[in-house]
């Protein structure tokens, strides 16, 4: 992985960076040479810079923030996952299934997997209720329905008890943090790639503006995007979220399935998440303002 500090962009390898320096209007021949010499090896997840590729590699392998595939890193390919579950899916699909997994891969997985698997924001929310039997394999909205049954909460939203309202707010907050976990910052090309792949674009472009064009008229539900990430994301080959042909179709689906965000949760959002900044829109129904995916 290579980083252009002038443009604040990440490229998959030195060849891609060299092509960018050669062709971009931002760089003339003199500044391109200077920039190439000054390129830092930067971790796109935690924004830490390193002096060499080897230092970056060691950081990824040792940091608790990363679940990296040793086999891919050894081959010069960047494969770093958000959860142990996603890493295991990748190893099985790309290495074990074809008989190419090496001992170091297994060791890496074992070292990263010691103790409890990394807990996501939704996992943390649902397991906070004493006595509630949480199944991480269920979709977020299914777990919420199960929690309501466990707590004996009944009736429409406008008749929620204070306890249910507090829980609903916690659930909505966990959804926002989960989106931020699976889909990164709007300035990160990798985040746009992930979003493109989620909606079925298997070979996304290398420019953020081109990714925006693809997604501008794409209608998908945000909870479905979260569930896609939780079930393996990029490594779940052939799987994508449901894409709707119109806003009305998406609206009906979102309301009926109760896969929605409450408006108050997003009013104060000031982050740079690619989904929350670029794909959220608002519609009205029965006097309540709901947020849906374009």
pLDDT along the chain (294 residues), means of 10: 61 62 55 45 70 73 70 68 63 51 40 52 92 91 93 86 91 86 80 85 84 84 88 71 86 85 58 66 44 42
The answer to whether residue 250 is domain-embedded is yes
- At residue 272, the pLDDT reads 66
Whether 283 maps to a domain, the answer reads: yes
Q: Are residues 158 and 260 in the same domain?
A: no
What integer pLDDT is reported at residue 284 of this predicted model? Answer: 41
Q: Are 186 and 275 in contact (CB under 8 A)?
A: no
Burial (CB count <10 Å: 0-12, 13-18, 19+), residue 116: exposed
187 and 287 in a common domain: yes
Long-range pairs for 51-58: beta carbons < 8 A, 24 or more residues apart: 56/1
Q: What is the pLDDT of residue 146?
A: 94
Residue 284 sits in the same domain as residue 190: yes
Under a CB-based contact definition with an 8 Å cutoff, are residues 57 and 24 in contact? Answer: no
Q: Is 186 in the same domain as 173?
A: no
In a domain, 10, yes or no: no
Three-class SS of 31-98: HHHHHHHHCCEECCCCCCEECCHHHHHHHHHHCCCCEECHHHHHCCCCCEECCHHHHHHHHHHHHHCC
Report the domain count for the chain: 2
Q: What pLDDT, on the 0 to 100 scale, is given for residue 108?
A: 40
- Tell whether 44 is covered by a domain: no
Which run of H or of E encompasses 212? Answer: helix 208-215
Cα gap 29→27, rounded to integer Å = 7
Domain endpoint, select from 159, 177, 195: 177
Boundary residue ending a domain (177, 212, 244): 177
Note the pLDDT of residue 39: 46
State the first-to-last Cα distance of the chain, in angstroms, to the nearest integer.
32
Indicate whether 62 belongs to any domain.
no
Q: Is residue 228 part of a domain?
A: yes
Question: Among the three residues 111, 144, 177, which one is the final residue of a domain in this structure?
Answer: 177
- Whether 7 maps to a domain, the answer reads no
Confidence at residue 113, expressed as pLDDT on a 0 to 100 scale: 42
244 in any annotated domain: yes
Give the domain range for residue 215: 182-293
pLDDT of residue 143: 94
CB atoms within 10 A of CB 289: 11
If DSSP codes are grouped into helix, strand and coil, which group holds residue 3?
Answer: strand
Considering the domain architecture, whether residues 186 and 272 belong to the same structural domain is answered as: yes
Residues 175, 269 contacting (CB under 8 angstroms): no
β-bridge mates for residue 67, sequence order:
81
209, 251: one domain? yes
């Amino acid at each position: 992985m290579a980083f252009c500090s002038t443009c604040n962009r990440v490229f998959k390898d030195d060849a891609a960076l060299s092509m960018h320096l050669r062709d971009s209007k931002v760089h003339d021949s003199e500044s391109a040479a200077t920039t190439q010499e000054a390129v830092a090896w930067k971790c796109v997840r935690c924004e830490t810079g390193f002096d060499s590729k080897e230092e970056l590699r060691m950081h990824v392998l040792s940091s608790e923030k990363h679940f990296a595939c040793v086999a891919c890193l050894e081959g010069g390919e960047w494969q770093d996952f958000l959860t142990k579950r996603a890493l295991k899916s990748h190893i099985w699909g790309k290495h074990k299934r074809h008989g190419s997994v090496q001992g170091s891969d297994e060791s890496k997985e074992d070292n990263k997997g010691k103790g409890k698997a990394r807990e996501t924001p939704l996992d943390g929310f649902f397991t906070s209720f004493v006595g509630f039997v949480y199944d991480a394999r269920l979709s977020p909205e299914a777990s919420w329905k199960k929690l309501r049954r466990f707590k004996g909460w009944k009736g429409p939203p406008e008749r929620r008890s204070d306890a249910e309202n507090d829980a609903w707010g916690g659930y909505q907050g966990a959804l926002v943090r989960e989106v931020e976990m699976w889909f990164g910052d709007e300035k990160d090309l990798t985040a746009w790639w992930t979003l493109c792949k989620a909606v079925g674009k298997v070979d996304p472009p290398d420019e953020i503006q081109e990714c925006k064009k693809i997604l501008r008229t794409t209608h998908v539900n945000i909870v479905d995007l979260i569930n896609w990430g939780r079930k393996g994301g990029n490594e779940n080959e052939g799987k994508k979220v449901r894409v709707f042909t119109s806003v009305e179709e998406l609206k009906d689906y979102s309301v009926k399935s109760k896969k929605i965000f409450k408006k108050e949760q997003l009013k104060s959002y000031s982050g740079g998440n690619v989904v929350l900044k670029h794909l959220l829109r608002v519609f009205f129904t029965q006097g309540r303002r709901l947020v849906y995916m374009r």
